[in-house]
Amino acid sequence: MKNLQDFKKKISELRKVLKPEISDNIQKIISFISNENPYKLLMALTRLEKKKSKKKKKSLKKNNLKKNYQDRT
């Protein structure tokens, strides 16, 4: 049950972020996939989240390296 609640929460977050016309199309795709295999959709959403967090960490690390270099010079 908890996975299903997380799943619904993530979908609602996606809808808030996306533009309405795009949201409708994605909502159709999501409903189709969730009818077929909701677990696959949940896994895809979690993979997207992981990629976002990795990119954030990389950019923060890069910025810190640049800052350290500038401080030394």
pLDDT of residue 20: 65
Tens of pLDDT, residue by residue over 9-45, are 877 777 676 666 666 677 777 777 767 776 777 777 7
Please state, as a whole number, how many other Cβ atoms lie within 10 Å of the Cβ of residue 27.
14
The structure's pTM equals: 0.30
What's the rounded Cα separation, in Å, for the pair 67 and 25? 43
